Structure 1
Amino acid sequence: MNYSILALVLLVALLLYFQSKKRKTKKALLLQKQEDEVYRNYLNKFQDISTLKKLPVQEVQIAGVRYQNDDGSQRQDIIRECKKGERLMLIPDSINQYDKHAIQVLRLNRQQIGFLDMDLAIEVKSRLEASSPVEASIIDIKEEKETLQVYIALQKYSLRSNVSAN
């Protein structure tokens, strides 16, 4: 008799586990769908990449990862939640008091994890203002001297159309 109660408890536990897993999967799929829509809307501001030639991928380190955001959030806390392969948005920061060409590096949920390096920001800002997309994604996160550093891949496109006019 004790075995039948134990079997029943085990069965109920398994059912609860699989229901929980199913809910988490549904939640993850919904979140992925929302992120895809945010990223699609972000890319819609630029030229259609299907007509553009890809340039070589550039790997860079994000600057300013140790600092606090204007909203008080800590970039290091946000970076702990990031994953390799995560897509990012590059947004000009026109009110930045230190660099008029500053480019914020944001997650798709709009949390800022840092900035592009000042020299690179000038080029990227020019491209973004010309409606030329620059895609960014995380390629690595490393702890260096007790600070999480983020390395990203930048995919730029030729400013000339890849499709010949007829």
Structure 2
Amino acid sequence: MHSSQGDGMAYHVNKKMRLVEVEVVRECDLNVNDNQFFAATHLGNVLHVGDTALCYDLPSSVKKFSRRSKKRNWKLQQLKEIHSELPDLLDELENDHVMRGQINIYKQQTEAQGPNHSDNDNEGMQVSSIPLSEMLDDLTFETKSSDPVTIRSVEEASKGVAWELEEL
């Protein structure tokens, strides 16, 4: 059905549906407290003041998830003095890829995971927004013997390797 306004423009009017804003109150909360919900509905031609209608109670049906329920699978190498601002910084690093490019981010190794853990062990873990290709492997320098580590030049090191190979 088309209807015209005073300006001569025609617009479509639907007899079944009409968009209206309604104020909804739970029947159990009626005359008990002032919990009122405002909503938009297409049932403007059907609903009248005082009518009872069925609807979804969305505030109690949507489950809230905390953002940090799982541990991150990455870490920063050095940030020991700033403890109070660290969670905010880590959240900002996950969201800002430009800032991530300026900071070295290392892969997080948990105690249960060794260097040869399988990828199936991470079931149920939260996937980080930082891709693994942007993370560096954690470098640790350990000596197995009590001998001090000596740094040699490239020529000396190559000669030493050649001597060790010839001796074998």
Name the TM-score, length of structure 1 as normaliser: 0.21
Higher relative contact order (CA 8 A, sep 6+): 1
Higher relative helix content: 1
**Bigger radius of gyration:** 2
Higher relative strand content: 1
Name the TM-score, length of structure 2 as normaliser: 0.21
